[in-house]
Amino acid sequence: MARKRRAPRILVTGASGFLGTHLCARLAADGAKIRSLGRSEHEHLKEHKVDQVIGSVLSEEDCVQAVKGMDQVYHLAGLVSRSPSDSGLMYDVHVRGTRNVLEACQGAGIEDVVVASTSGTVGVGTSPDFIAHEDSPTPWSLIGRWPYYESKAFAEREVQRFVDSGLPVRIARPTLLLGPGDLNGSSTGDVARFLSGQVTAALPGGISFVDVRDVADCLPTLMKKGQPGVGYLMGATNLGVRDFLVGLEQVSGVNAPAFTIPHSVVSRAGGWLKKVSRLPVFGGLDEETFEMGCHYWYVESQRACDELSFTPRDWSETLRDTVDDIRTIGLRTR
C-alpha cells in the first residue's frame, strides 16, 4: 500500500499583503500547511487555515522560531511607501529583514526559498526604447532617488551573498501588481486615484504591470524550477502612462485626462515642475510619484515564460478586475 505523501509545511512572510494573500490561497488549494510571520493576525488568512505567528522579520529570534519545522519559505514581507519619512524603515525591513530570514533558513537547513523583489531593481530607464532583462545592471544613479527601489536592490545584494555561500535562493521580480484583493491599496492606489477623478494629466513616462494572481500562481514553479540567484522578471505588458490611463477609461467609463505633460517641458522645467506637481492641475502628486511617472519601467519577461511557464493573462482583464474590485470594496488611495 502506497504511503500517503505528507503535505508540505510552508512559511510565508508578508502573507497578509496583496501578493501574500493570493499565494496563500494558491498554496492552500494545493493542500499545503501554511504558517505566516507577521505583526498581527488577519481575518482574511483564516479561511486558508494559516497558522499565524506573531513576530517580525526584524527580529532574528522570531525568524529562527518561524522557520522551525518548515520545508519551504516564501519571503514576501516588505513595505511599500513613497513617503520620505518611511525610508529608514524600508531599508530596515527589506535589507535586514531579508538577511534575518535567509540566515534562519540557512541555519535550519531549508533550501527551498523564494524571495520577492521588484522589477524596479533593474527595470527603469530614461528612454521609451529602454527595456530591462534579467542581466540588466542596477541603475543606481536613478533608483537612489527612490528608497523603495534602492532598498530592494540592496536586499538583492543580500540574497546574492547567500547564494554565493551555497543557499539556492530563487528571486521573483514582478512589475506593478494589479488585480483584485489589494486590501490596503498599496499597489492599486493609483488606479483608485484615477477612478476618483484625481488624475488630471498623464505623465510622459511608461509603466509595466502584471496580474497578482498570475505571479502568485508562478511562485511555486519558481521554487521548483528557477535558477538560484536569477531575478526573474514578471510583467504582462509595457504601456505608456497615457495608454495605461486610456485602458482604464475603456474598462471603467471614467474619462482619461486629455492632457499629457510633454517630456520636453519636464526637462526644461527641472526641479521647479516637481515642486508644482502637488497643484490640482497636475493631480496633487507627491514629488516621488511625479518623477517616477516621467521614467520608463519596461521589462522583458521571456525568461520566466520559457523556464517557469509564466503565462500572464490579457492585461485588459487585469484592469477590469482591478476596477471592479476597487468599486466593490471602496476607493483606497495612498
> pLDDT tens across 66-99, in order?
999 999 999 999 999 888 889 999 999 999 999 9
The angle subtended at Cα 220 by Cα 111 and Cα 162, nearest 5°, is 30
Give percent above pLDDT 90 in the chain: 82
The verdict on residue 221 lying in a domain is: yes
Q: Which residue has the cell 482619461?
A: 256
Would residue 334 count as lying in a domain? Answer: no
Predicted confidence (pLDDT) at residue 46 exceeds the cutoff of 50: yes
In this prediction, residue 261 has a pLDDT band, given cuts at 50, 70 and 90, of confident
Phi, psi of 12 (to 5 degrees): -125, 115
Q: Please compute the mean of the pLDDT values over residues 101-115 and round it to a whole number.
A: 98
Least confident range of 10-19, 170-179, 275-284: 275-284
Decide: residue 42, CB within 10 A, 0-12 exposed, 13-18 middle, 19+ buried.
middle
Q: Give tens-digit pLDDT for 299-310.
A: 999 999 999 999
The enclosing domain of 32 has a CATH number of 3.40.50.720
37 in a domain, yes or no? yes
Please tell me the distance from the alpha carbon of residue 294 to that of residue 313, in angstroms, as a whole number: 27
- Examine the pLDDT at 180 and tell me if it is beyond 50: yes
For residue 146, being part of any structural domain is answered with yes
Q: Say how many domains are in the chain.
A: 1
What local confidence, expressed as pLDDT, does residue 254 receive? 97
Report, as an integer, the average pLDDT of 165-175: 98
State yes or no: pLDDT of 286 exceeds 80: no
Say how far apart CA 260 and CA 204 lie, in whole Å.
7
The pLDDT value recorded for residue 283 is 59
Residue 334: pLDDT band (50, 70, 90) is very low
Annotate 284-331 with DSSP letters as a single string: S--HHHHHHTTSB--B--HHHHHHH---PPPHHHHHHHHHHHHHHH--
Closest CA to 101 of 128, 74, 130, 141: 74
pLDDT in tens, 181-193: 999 888 999 999 9
Q: Letter for the amino acid at 108?
A: A
Model pLDDT, residue 1: 47
- 56, 39 contact by CB (below 8 A): yes
pLDDT band at 290 (very low <50, low <70, confident <90, very high): confident
Is 2 contained in some domain? no
Q: Is 148 labeled as catalytic in the residue annotation?
A: yes
Distance in Å from the first CA to the final CA of the chain? 56
Kindly tell me if the per-residue pLDDT of 281 is higher than 80. no
Average pLDDT over residues 236-254: 97
Calpha distance 182→288 (Å, rounded): 22
Mean pLDDT of all residues in 113-130: 97
Residue 260: count of CB within 10 angstroms of its CB = 15
Q: How many CA atoms lie within 13 A of 212 on its CB side?
A: 24
Q: Is a pLDDT exceeding 80 seen at residue 331?
A: no
Which domain covers residue 154, as residue numbers? 9-329
| Burial of residue 85, with CB atoms counted within 10 A of its CB: 0-12 exposed, 13-18 middle, 19 or more buried | exposed
* Catalytic member of 148, 149, 232, 296: 148
Judge whether 124 and 296 are in contact, CB under 8 Å: yes
Q: Find the range with the poorest average confidence among 234-238, 255-259, 261-265.
A: 261-265
Nearest to 193 by CA among 82, 316, 44: 82
| pLDDT tens per residue, range 193-239 | 999 998 988 999 999 999 999 999 999 999 999 999 999 999 999 99
Residue 270: pLDDT over 90: no
Q: How far is CA 42 from the centre of its chain?
A: 20
